[in-house]
Structure 1
């Protein structure tokens, strides 16, 4: 008789994000009743993670698997219905796990915020995943569930047709504990992501050889620095993967559900002008140094220096993380009337505006782990509400019809309508 599979296995459980995902799995298991295990290279370290982050958990299996050993990855994947992959940077370590999951007919979710990796995986593994009947879903953390599912949430609440959405991310803290704000792994992913950003054009031309039809009025990007009525402070373009991820979801929903695709621009708001200037200086140096091997080596060797103390190998202090908060405020413009076809043109200018918001605390390593785990539970429990019978998807396309938003609302990540008015 074949061994019964666990519902979930957390791979990379000894990493910084992996540890907090173990903690969240332990918390959620008490209310959602699922079986789970953890996996990585080192038995002792895995057992230590369980002891620290799930101290009273019973019968949590420890499975040894090494990213450099394909057979061990496949054996690990064969023991689960869903692999929750916390082993990044995904540019280097993601693809072997995806291949193992497809071979084992096991679903896969991760928290990648790396557009090149995600779009390469969609290009090369969408058809194999469909044939295997498994879902491969990246960006299931802070990058990019608040933005991607926030847009889906806004579309559903709009009661009309959305033309464009501008998103404004803001983060703040009510502590003065000092220390790093980011873990080294996040920094490493950003270094290589920016260094290889030029790969995206070629990937996208292969992934989407046919352009979307033009939609009017066209949403234009705002100035380098601007002030917004819905976000207090100084706003600049958000450098993360939110826009690329949500654009993929919107394209899928247009091509498969005949939904007019929302035009998206993403921004981040800095409350202090001095902080903005400081971040701009760090960002300029960072961008310049990623362009050459020597610069990248220095960035990776001395993250604390080149991030002005924002990054360390130890990551932020637990007590500091719990006092960090975020909001993603969205301004949607569109029409009260929804036309029969998504390509039909409205005869009047947009006449409706809605502001929505996604908010919570500890975005990088708390809310991210909540989102990741609940995404895994959606794959486990609500496949009948997910598209097709498998494939590679961004979270918005994968979870648009599931109860993901409702579950997040119960677990500290709030989706809400702030205001709605007709012009």
Structure 2
């Protein structure tokens, strides 16, 4: 069936999980049951879906779909009902491969929260051609990894074109502030990736390669970002940022998919600012030595209280420069904790953006910036509590 004639716009697969519930809560509040977005809840158990729907006060006329990653027929049926599958069912390397394959075959658009670069590398190799042929727009990493960073770099380059007539060959992404926790799902993905890498040493090459998601292209040498350093330009110490491994790869893929509009020798790194002086240096060293993520006991489905989500926030600076002495700074801020409150709004708006803009990109495997760019920035600022600001 043509994508345009399908009964649903968006199916939230994983609707009974922690993040899936937040996505459903947001879609219900923002678009309602009688709004112009037709959405449905999907999960493994009808009883569980019904129970979650009642618990969250979601109207009974929101459709439901039973689908299980272990039942390929149910996955095929699900993806053929809708224009977009929004999946929060991770780790994706364990539960996502058949969903991507089915969407790529059926011409169904797809968004996820993936921060698993080795799996993404594999999916691009396996399904890019099918997605191009069917018209499916597959967009990975539509949560905190990597929307604020991918779109932040894109926003800086668009600003640079307006102000200087060209893009910036060097961008520093620097987290200035962040309050919130990583999700249990993010932790599970991290642990699954490390476990897989221990069994498959070739995966370490993918994880360590900033150009792992740009098939056939390797650009300029990139800063490793793995040790504390003092940044003269910004007057602050910087510490390694745990999500740089995935975000940098997505930003280089965006540049690749946008025809290297950032330049073939584009350099990007991402760290966390810890402040000036001895105190800043000590904090940077403490962050670099922190290994708590590997030992965090939380599981998928576990997360913070509503108050913790509501009081979270983040602020990321992007500083661009060129060899002519031009400097441009922009920032991206979010009004909820990054791993849950903001992520659930970002992925929901990514899915709606694809529904509302059927011609935003052709079939293929994309990043948020390369598929949706300014269209998604506008939606996030209007609806999802993000602010994109030119600072200098």
**TM-score bucket of the superposed structures, by smaller chain:** 0.7 to 0.9
Which structure 1 residue ranges, 5 or more long, are not aligned?
174-179, 288-298, 305-309, 335-348
Q: Give, in whole Å, the separation in 2 of the partners of 1:366 and 1:134.
A: 28
Equivalent residues of 2:69, 2:98 under 8 A apart:
yes
- Look up the SS of the partner of 1:403 in the other structure: helix
1:408 equivalent among 369, 372, 380: 380
Farther off after superposition, 23-32 or 9-18: 23-32
Secondary structure of 1:168's counterpart equals strand
Q: 1:5, 1:233 → 2: CA distance?
A: 53
Q: How far is 1:105 from its partner?
A: 2.4
- CA displacement, residues 36-75 of structure 1 (integer Å, 9 cap, x when unaligned): 001011112212222233x153511111111100001111
Question: What is the SS of the residue equivalent to 2:391?
Answer: strand
Unaligned runs of 5+ in 2: none
Q: Is the CA contact 2:181–2:338 (under 8 Å) kept in the aligned structure 1?
A: no
Residues 373-412 of structure 1 aligned to structure 2 (within 5 Å): 373-386=348-361, 389-400=362-373, 402-411=374-383, 412=385
Other-structure match for 1:225: 228
Q: Which residue of 2 aligns with 1:194?
A: 194
Give the CA deviation at 1:161: 2.5
Q: What pairs up with 1:329-344 in 2 under 5 angstroms? A: 329-334=317-322
Instruction: Note the C-alpha offset of 1:232.
Output: 8.3
Task: Report whether the alignment pairs 1:358 with 2:361.
Answer: no
State the Cα distance separating 1:195 from its structure 2 match. 4.1
Q: 1:183 to 1:83 in 2, by over 3 A?
A: same
2:303 paired residue number? 315
Q: How many residues in Structure 1 have an aligned counterpart in Structure 2?
A: 370
1:325 equivalent to 2:308? Answer: no
Cα deviation, residue 227, structure 1: 4.1
What are the Cα deviations for residues 51-109 of structure 1, in whole angstroms up to 9, with x where unaligned?
233x1535111111111000011111111110001100001011111122233321111
Cα distance between partner residues in 2 of 1:374 and 1:269: 29
Output the CA distance in 2 between the equivalents of 1:157 and 1:32: 34
Contact 1:232 1:269 (C-alpha < 8 Å) held by counterparts: no
- 1:181 corresponds to: 181
| Alignment pair present for 1:42 and 2:14 | no
Normalised by the length of structure 1, the TM-score is 0.79
Structure with the greater alpha carbon radius of gyration:
1
Question: 2:175 maps to which residue?
Answer: 169
Note the alpha carbon deviations across 1:104-149, whole angstroms, 9 max, x for none: 3211110111111112111110001111111111001110011111
Q: Is the 8 A contact 2:175 2:271 kept in 1?
A: yes
- How far does residue 9 in structure 1 lie from its aligned partner after superposition? 0.3
Q: Distance in 1 between matches of 2:58 and 2:76?
A: 29
Provide the C-alpha distance between the structure 1 equivalents of 2:77 and 2:28, rounded to a whole number of angstroms.
23
Provide the residue aligned with 2:98 in structure 1: 96
CA apart distance, 1:320? 0.9
CA contact (8 A) 1:10 1:83 kept: yes
1:265 alignment partner, one of 266, 269, 273: 269
Give the TM-score of the pair, scaled to structure 2. 0.85
Asked if the contact 1:90/1:114 (under 8 Å) is kept, the reply is: yes
Equivalent pair of 1:38/1:62 in contact (CA under 8 Å)? yes
Evaluate the alpha carbon distance shift between residue 124 and residue 4 of structure 1 in structure 2; reply closer, same or farther with a 3 A threshold: closer
The answer to whether the Cα contact below 8 Å between 1:16 and 1:183 also exists between their aligned partners in 2 is: no
Please name the residue that 2:258 is paired with.
Answer: 253
Deviation at 1:377, TM superposition (A): 1.3
